[in-house]
Structure 1
Amino acid sequence: MSITFAPAAGLSHEALEEGAVFAPRFDEKGLVTAIAVEASSGAVLMVAHMNAEALARTLETGEAHYYSRSRGKIWRKGETSGEIQKLVEIRADCDQDALLVVVEQTGRGGACHTGRKTCFYRRVEVAEAAATLVPIGEPRLFDPSDVYGAS
């Protein structure tokens, strides 16, 4: 079975925002922003992108698949690291141009390729008109060099 999606271009504003038709608004590159959140805690784990095939694979398999812009291909989250994201649900935002991918993070619990639970492990601070990144204390759950090899 291959899941397909209605074209957003054919829907009225009312149908897009209030209707039952799932019609993701993929951008000019065929991508939609996907924000992965942990079902148990609500923590934002990562932001990625999906094309229609990655979205369909996610819905068909129950495991998160994304589209890598840098590699130009679909990847299953955890295919190398073992940090698979089991799908709980997907929510579309009001105009269907972003998706909230609610997951159960498996493995050691690290969604980020740096080995941390979340990709959002630093906060922006401003001092003397300069913005810097400051770690929030998110520990590494695995060593990325052991998982992905030396960079």
Structure 2
Amino acid sequence: MPSSLTLFKRLEKAAPRTRTALEDLLDAIPWNEDGLIPAIAQQHDTKDVLMMAWMNRTALQETLEKMRVCYWSRSRQRFWRKGESSGQVQWLKEAYLDCDGDTLLLIVDQQGPACHTGRKSCFYHQLDSEGATIASAPDMDPEMLYGAPSS
């Protein structure tokens, strides 16, 4: 099993189109103490950053195999297939791992809002030196997504 430092240092110098076996890459990812890695979802056509969630090895493997995004819910301690309760599915278009292997970028086709608040993106608190401004309104009432008010 290659160490993450060794594998990712080697890949820094690799020529474009160099392939690495998925199992070797998964073995080298520096999963956190809970066996997770952060995953950022970005809409493929608009490039909007939609959300950040967590994946474990199994969720990442399922996502790559089925092309439907699956996360690990830390609060529920179970797999969370985006859209399973809201209908707002994320279809994987492309997946990238950053240079040191500790963050995923998922290029997705998000069906409807990504955020549990009914907004397109979870990133709607716009910050400046004086505070924060709500930058977008919900596209959909959260009660329509889940049948209950958002928390």
- TM-score category (smaller protein): 0.7 to 0.9
Residue 51 in structure 1 maps to residue 56 in structure 2: yes
Distance 1:13 1:150, change over 3 A: closer
Query: How many correspondences in the alignment?
Result: 139
Matching residue's letter, 1:116: R
Q: Secondary structure at the match of 1:113?
A: coil
Partner of 1:110: 113
1:17–1:95: 8 Å Cα contact kept in structure 2? no
Distance 1:149 1:103, change over 3 A: same
1:16–1:96: 8 Å Cα contact kept in structure 2? no
Paired-residue identity, %: 42
Partner of 1:14: 9
Structure 1: where are the runs of 5+ without partners? 1-5
Distance across 2 between alignment mates of 1:16 and 1:74 = 30
2:38–2:54: 8 Å Cα contact kept in structure 1? yes
Distance 1:74 1:7, change over 3 A: farther
Distance 1:113 1:7, change over 3 A: farther
Please provide the CA RMSD for this pair.
1.9
Give me the TM-score of the superposition, normalised by structure 1: 0.83
Give me the TM-score of the superposition, normalised by structure 2: 0.83
2:8–2:101: 8 Å Cα contact kept in structure 1? no
1:25, CA displacement in angstroms?
Answer: 2.2
Structure 2: where are the runs of 5+ without partners? none
Matching residue's letter, 1:115: G
Q: Which has the higher helix share?
A: 2
Partner of 2:124: 121
